[in-house]
């Protein structure tokens, strides 16, 4: 098996046409179809399933976008396409009670929807609407089970028309033994409106929240925060056990979080008694603008308490931040390894990505013995 452990590029790597890792899918910039929303799960039989959507000027993201589903039966060494789900966007995969689910929206700022597959992603149910109206936002973020319920974060996008400003965090939950395709089983938390005075007037948006269980066994929604300067931030909203009440204290619940201005996924690892994430950080030498548009560095991070984060290792980096990006990582624990899919903007034989944001690859990566990396 070829070595998949990632490292910062050498000069020889900089001129290679192929991105690091294993390419699951490639969509050149000329197609007008850009790769978004990477997601990955490990099925009970040990095979991997990954997905991504397509956005951009030639997509139908505002009407009927496509999400593509892929599978690997050899630990990520090779992949085959399983399905195309029309009317599926900003979606994440999860496994529950031996079934495979995908949950997101039916379009850009669409209804919240969910589908199920009982044959490992080959075929899927029709989309079940969980909301009577549209105007919701999300990304592939964790679904966790706690206290007899499953939990998943979204944003209500009805707070105006401006990006970021319009997003109002919510947490969805449902009984773990219920029919997840039935909208009647889902509870929506109360919302907390943003305040422009937060962070000394620098607060712009919060979005793409993670459902996470705290060390004292409480559910929180940990969100990406849009700020114009460094240090980057994340926000922690506490959710009551009934899934209805939400609480946020701006004096204490904004935390320093490298990479917090871009999407991240947080999961708890029982063997290390710690929380882990892959985040698109901005090292000091690249801190010459806003944090959000700088996505050329991916780091492995660790925390014991969700509030204090340590950068363990730079996993990927490219010296050019204009047309190169390692972003929207989604990942899973696989024994002593971490496996990940990344929305990657990189060189190809057709001139590379349109820009750092409009990725032309979804790539697969394995971090061997990730707990020891420093």
Among the listed residues 201, 138, 128, the one whose alpha carbon sits nearest the alpha carbon of residue 168 = 138
Full set of structural domains in the chain with CATH: 24-318 (2.120.10.10)
Is pLDDT of 43 > 70?
Answer: yes
Q: How far apart are CA 34 and CA 29, in angstroms?
A: 7
**Predicted confidence (pLDDT) per residue in 323-361, tens digit:** 999 999 999 999 999 999 999 999 999 999 999 999 999
Using alpha carbons, list the distances in angstroms from residue 346 to 15, 37, 362.
11, 17, 10
H helical segments located in 193-349: none
User: Which distant-in-sequence residues (6+ apart) come within 8 Å of 335 by Cβ?
Assistant: none
Tell me the pLDDT band of 16, cut-offs 50, 70 and 90. Answer: low
**Predicted confidence (pLDDT) per residue in 108-137, tens digit:** 999 999 999 999 999 999 999 999 999 999
Tell me the pLDDT band of 164, cut-offs 50, 70 and 90. Answer: confident
For residue 58 the two structure tokens come to: 């030639």
Tell me the pLDDT band of 18, cut-offs 50, 70 and 90. Answer: confident
Predicted local confidence at residue 2, as pLDDT = 35
Q: How far apart are CA 343 and CA 27, in angstroms?
A: 11
Strand partners, 37: none
Q: How far apart are CA 198 and CA 206, in angstroms?
A: 12
Q: How far apart are CA 177 and CA 360, in angstroms?
A: 39
Residue owning tokens 């098996």: 1
Predicted local confidence at residue 6, as pLDDT = 42
For residue 239 the two structure tokens come to: 């959710």
Is pLDDT of 83 > 70?
Answer: yes
**Predicted confidence (pLDDT) per residue in 248-306, tens digit:** 999 999 999 999 999 999 999 999 999 999 999 999 999 999 999 999 999 999 999 99
Q: How far apart are CA 17 and CA 118, in angstroms?
A: 38
Predicted local confidence at residue 184, as pLDDT = 98
Predicted local confidence at residue 10, as pLDDT = 39
Among the listed residues 365, 367, 368, the one whose alpha carbon sits nearest the alpha carbon of residue 72 = 365
Q: How far apart are CA 177 and CA 149, in angstroms?
A: 8
**Predicted confidence (pLDDT) per residue in 174-207, tens digit:** 999 999 999 999 999 999 989 999 999 999 999 9
Tell me if the pTM is above 0.85.
yes
Q: How far apart are CA 130 and CA 181, in angstroms?
A: 8
**How many CB atoms within 10 Å of residue 264?**
28
Burial class (CB in 10 A: 0-12, 13-18, 19+), 373: middle
For residue 276 the two structure tokens come to: 């882990």
Is pLDDT of 37 > 90?
Answer: yes
Helix (H, G, I), strand (E, B) or coil at 15: helix
- pLDDT over 90, % of the chain: 94
Q: Virtual CA dihedral for 226, 333, 343, 138, nearest 10 degrees?
A: -50
Is pLDDT of 4 > 70?
Answer: no
Cβ atoms of 237 and 214 within 8 Å: the answer is no
**Predicted confidence (pLDDT) per residue in 202-245, tens digit:** 999 999 999 999 999 999 999 999 999 999 999 999 999 999 99
Is pLDDT of 5 > 90?
Answer: no
Tell me the pLDDT band of 17, cut-offs 50, 70 and 90. Answer: low
Question: For the chain, how far is it from start to end, CA to CA, in angstroms?
Answer: 24
């Amino acid at each position: 098996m070829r070595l998949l452990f990632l490292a910062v590029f050498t000069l020889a790597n900089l001129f290679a046409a192929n991105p690091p890792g294993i390419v699951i899918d490639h969509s050149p910039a000329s197609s007008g179809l850009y790769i978004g929303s990477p997601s990955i799960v490990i099925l009970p039989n040990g095979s991997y399933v990954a997905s991504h959507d397509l956005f951009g000027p030639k997509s139908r993201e505002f009407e009927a976008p496509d999400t593509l589903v892929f599978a690997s039966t050899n630990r990520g060494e090779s992949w085959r396409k399983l399905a195309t789900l029309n009317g599926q966007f900003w979606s994440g995969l999860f496994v529950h009670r031996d079934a495979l689910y995908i949950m997101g929206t039916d379009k850009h700022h669409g209804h919240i929807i969910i589908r199920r597959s009982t044959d490992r992603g080959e075929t899927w149910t029709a989309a079940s609407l969980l909301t009577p109206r549209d105007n919701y936002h999300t990304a592939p973020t964790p679904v966790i089970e706690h206290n007899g319920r499953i939990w998943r974060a979204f944003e209500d996008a009805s707070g105006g028309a401006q990006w970021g400003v319009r997003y109002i965090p919510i947490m969805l939950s449902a009984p773990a033994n219920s029919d997840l395709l039935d909208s009647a089983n889902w509870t929506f938390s109360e919302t907390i409106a943003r305040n422009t005075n937060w962070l000394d007037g620098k607060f712009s948006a919060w979005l793409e929240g993670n459902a996470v269980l705290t060390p004292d066994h409480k559910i929180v929604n940990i969100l990406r925060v849009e700020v114009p300067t460094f240090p980057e931030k994340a926000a922690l909203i506490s959710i009551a056990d009934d899934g209805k009440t939400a609480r946020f204290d701006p004096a204490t619940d904004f935390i320093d979080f490298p990479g917090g201005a871009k999407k991240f996924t947080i999961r708890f690892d029982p063997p290390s008694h710690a929380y882990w994430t892959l985040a698109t950080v901005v090292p000091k030498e690249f801190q010459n603008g806003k944090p959000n548009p700088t996505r050329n560095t991916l780091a492995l991070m660790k925390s014991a308490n969700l509030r204090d984060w340590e950068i363990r290792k730079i996993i990927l980096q490219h010296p050019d931040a204009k047309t190169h990006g390692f972003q929207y990582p989604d990942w899973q624990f696989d024994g002593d390894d971490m496996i990940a899919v990344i929305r990657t903007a990189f060189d190809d034989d057709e001139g590379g990505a349109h820009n750092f944001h409009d990725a032309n690859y979804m790539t697969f990566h394995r971090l061997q013995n990730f707990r020891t990396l420093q």
